[in-house]
Amino acid sequence: MRTKPKPNSAAYGIDIGKKVFHVVALDADGRPVQRAKFSRETLLKFFEVSDTALIGMEACAGSQWLARKLTALGHDARIIPAKFVKPYVKSNKSDTIDAEAIAEAVTRPTMRFVQVRSEAQVDLQALHRIRDRLIRNRTGLMNQARAFCIEYGLAMRTGAGGFHADIRRHLDNDENDLSSAMRDLLTDLLDDLAHIERRVAELTKEIEAIAHSDETVRRLLTIPGIGALGATALVAAAGDGRQFRKARDMAAWLGLVPAEHSSGGKQTLLGISKRGNGYVRRLIIHGARSCFLHLHRETHALGRWLSALEERTHRNKAIVALANKLTRIAWAILTRPGENYLRTKGAAA
C-alpha cells in the first residue's frame, strides 16, 4: 500500500478506529485510486502533505477531533451519520470497504452532514451530558429506596420533594417495620443521593454562568419557554444554526415534525419522528409545556395562535407544535446576529 498521497485524489474516506485508520482515495470521476492504512500518529502526517481535498468520515467517537484537525490543515472535512453511509457499502464488510463507502457518500450532492463542532461546543455538551447522567442516577437511587421501603409496607409519594419528606419520616419512626439493617442501607442511600444532588447543583450553576456570559445564549433566553439549560444545550448541539437552510430544517433535525410513511399517492403522517438529539428535544418540549401553562395569552405575541391551537387539538399535540415553533424562532435568532425575540402582541408570531 502507498503511504504517499496521489496527486489526482479529489476525495477521501476515512474509517476511524482507536489505533488504526483505513483511508480510500477517489479521483475526480469517483474511482478508487488509493487504499492505505495508518496509525493515529501517521494519519495527520499523510494529510499534511496531500493536496486540499474533500474528506469524509462517519459520526463516531473521535470524528469531531479529527474533523477539526483536518479543517485546520485546509481540507474540507465532513462528518456523515452512519445510517447514511450504509447504502453505499456494496458487499460484505471490512474497514477498507467501509472507507470506500464513506468516500463515495461524501461526494453525493444531497448528502446530509453533521456539523463540525468547536472545542467550546464539545465542552458545553459534556457538561450537559454529565448533568443528565447524574439526574438519571438520582432517579434510580430514589426508585431503589422506594422499592426497599414498599417491601416493609411503607409507601412514598411521587416526586423528589415527596420522596425526601417521606423517607425521612419513615427513618425517624421507630415503630414501623423497618429493620435496623434496612435503616442503615437507606441512610447510606441518602448520603449517596445528597452527593449527587450537590454535583447536579454545581453543574447547573456552571451552565447558568456560561449562559449569562455568552451573547448568543442571552439572546436565546428572550424566547419564552427556553431557559439557560435549553439555550446552552441548543448552542452546544447546533452552533450558529447555519448548517440548516431554513427554520423548518432545524425543527426536523430535532425530530419535532411528523414522520411520514406515504405510498401510492396517499400521504400518511405519523407521530413526531423523534430524530436527532433527544436530550435537546426533551428540554425544548419541557420548556414549551411550561410556556403553554404560564404564557399570558392576551399580551404575548404567541397568545392568540396558542389559544386557537388549543381549541382544535389535544393539549400534548399543541405543546409539541409550540416546541416546533420555538425551535424555528431559535433558528432565526441564531442565524441573525444581534436579533432578539419580540414578546409584544404586535410582533409577528
Q: Are residues 129 and 206 in the same domain?
A: yes
Retrieve residue 232's grid coordinates: 446552552
Query: What does pLDDT average to over the chain?
Result: 90
Retrieve residue 55's grid coordinates: 474528506
Q: Are residues 227 and 301 in the same domain?
A: yes
- Domain end position, chosen among 157, 190, 213: 213
Q: Are residues 142 and 58 in the same domain?
A: no
Among 59, 180, 69, 191, residue whose Cα is nearest residue 115: 59
pLDDT value, residue 344: 55
Q: Are residues 185 and 155 in the same domain?
A: yes
pLDDT value, residue 237: 93
Pairing of strands 20-26, 76-80: unpaired
Q: Answer yes or no: is pLDDT of 345 > 70.
A: no
Between 272 and 345, whose confidence is greater?
Answer: 272
Between 91 and 128, whose confidence is greater?
Answer: 128
**CA dist 243 → 108, 172, 249, 272, 329 (Å):** 17, 57, 9, 22, 16
User: Any idea how long the chain is?
Assistant: 349
Interior angle at CA 224, CA 253 and CA 307, nearest 5 = 95
Q: Are residues 224 and 284 in the same domain?
A: yes
Q: Are residues 173 and 204 in the same domain?
A: yes
Q: Are residues 194 and 125 in the same domain?
A: yes
% of the chain surpassing 90 pLDDT: 69
pLDDT grade, residue 106 (50/70/90)?
very high
Q: Are 13 and 63 in contact (CB under 8 A)?
A: no
Q: Are residues 233 and 254 in the same domain?
A: yes
CATH code: domain of residue 42: 3.30.420.40
Report H helices in 63-159.
63-72, 82-85, 95-106, 119-150
Nearby residues of 44 by Cβ (< 8 Å), 6 or more positions away: 69, 70, 73
Q: Are residues 194 and 224 in the same domain?
A: no
pLDDT, average across residues 326-348: 79
Tally of domains in the chain: 3
Other CB atoms within a 10 A radius of the CB of residue 62 amount to 13
Retrieve residue 273's grid coordinates: 419522528
Each residue of 171-208: pLDDT tens digit?
999 889 899 999 999 999 999 999 999 999 999 999 99
Residue 114 placed within a domain: no
Cα–Cα distance measured from residue 333 to residue 325, given in angstroms and rounded to the nearest whole number: 13
Cell match 419535532: residue? 256
Q: Are 231 and 219 in contact (CB under 8 A)?
A: no
Q: In this structure, which amino acid lies at residue 229? A: L
pLDDT, average across residues 118-130: 94
Between 217 and 3, whose confidence is greater?
Answer: 217
- Domain end position, chosen among 188, 213, 238: 213
Query: Looking at 20-24, 92-96, 343-347, which range is the least confident one?
Result: 343-347
Residue 260 placed within a domain: yes
Q: Are residues 269 and 233 in the same domain?
A: yes
Nearby residues of 299 by Cβ (< 8 Å), 6 or more positions away: 344, 345
pLDDT, average across residues 238-257: 91
Each residue of 70-100: pLDDT tens digit?
999 999 999 999 999 999 998 888 999 999 9
Cα–Cα distance measured from residue 61 to residue 115, given in angstroms and rounded to the nearest whole number: 14
- What is the torsion angle, in degrees rounded to the nearest 10, for the CA atoms of residue 166, residue 168, residue 174 and residue 178? 70
Residue 111 placed within a domain: no
Q: Are residues 187 and 219 in the same domain?
A: no
pLDDT value, residue 275: 86
- Residue 155 sits in which domain range? 119-213
Q: Answer yes or no: is pLDDT of 50 > 60.
A: yes
pLDDT value, residue 349: 42
Retrieve residue 112's grid coordinates: 446530509
pLDDT value, residue 280: 95
pLDDT value, residue 347: 46
Cα–Cα distance measured from residue 123 to residue 121, given in angstroms and rounded to the nearest whole number: 5
pLDDT value, residue 99: 94
Report H helices in 107-246.
119-150, 160-172, 180-213, 215-220, 228-238
Residue 128 placed within a domain: yes
Q: Are residues 132 and 205 in the same domain?
A: yes
Nearby residues of 79 by Cβ (< 8 Å), 6 or more positions away: 56, 57, 58, 59, 63, 64, 67, 113, 114, 115, 116
Cell match 456494496: residue? 90
Residue 123 placed within a domain: yes
Cell match 431557559: residue? 227
Entry pTM: 0.86
Residue 349 placed within a domain: no
Q: Answer yes or no: is pLDDT of 336 > 80.
A: yes
- Domain end position, chosen among 57, 72, 106: 106
Residue 271 placed within a domain: yes
Q: Are 227 and 221 in contact (CB under 8 A)?
A: yes
Residue 5 placed within a domain: no
